[in-house]
């Protein structure tokens, strides 16, 4: 079946503009995760959804970042008033959720965001 897909694959935006990043998880996966991968920083957890609810949004770096998930499927990560330090690869992952299944995550190819 289809894996996790993300769009766009690349996004270049000017400082101060808003951007939306989209994630389509694997069908039937109830859990969805957003991570940020910056050069030399590894993967940084941003937010986790179980269904349409976000039990853990502790990794969102500021109130400029928000995310939603609708229909237990597609998720959108929105960054308002982008700054240069937001430049990174944003990765989405999904899992079957519940217990150790939460940790067997399937990743999308990522969206590379460049803020100029």
Partner 1 sequence: AQSVTQLGSHVSVSEGALVLLRCNYSSSVPPYLFWYVQYPNQGLQLLLKYTSAATLVKGINGFEAEFKKSETSFHLTKPSAHMSDAAEYFCAVGGNEKLTFGTGTRLTIIP
Given the rule CB under 8 A, which residues bind partner 1?
4, 31, 33, 35, 40-43, 45, 48, 50, 55-56, 91, 93, 97, 100, 102-110
- Interior/surface letters 80-113, b for 16+ CB within 10 angstroms, e for the rest: eebeeebbbbbbbbbbbbeeeeeeebeebebbeb
Q: How far apart are CA 71 and CA 66, in angstroms?
A: 17
Minimum Å gap between C-beta 16 and partner 1 is: 28
Q: Which is nearer to partner 1, 80 or 106 (CB)?
A: 106
Minimum Å gap between C-beta 81 and partner 1 is: 27
């Amino acid at each position: 079946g289809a894996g996790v897909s993300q769009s766009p694959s690349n996004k270049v935006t000017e400082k101060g503009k808003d951007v939306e990043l989209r994630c389509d998880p694997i069908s039937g996966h109830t859990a969805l995760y957003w991570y940020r991968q910056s050069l030399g920083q590894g993967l940084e957890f941003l937010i986790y959804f179980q269904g349409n609810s976000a039990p853990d949004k502790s990794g969102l770096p500021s109130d400029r970042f928000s995310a939603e998930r609708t229909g237990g499927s597609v998720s959108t990560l929105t960054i308002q008033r982008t700054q240069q330090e937001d430049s990174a690869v944003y990765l989405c992952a999904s899992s079957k959720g519940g217990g150790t299944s939460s940790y067997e995550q399937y990743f999308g190819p990522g969206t590379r965001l460049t803020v100029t």
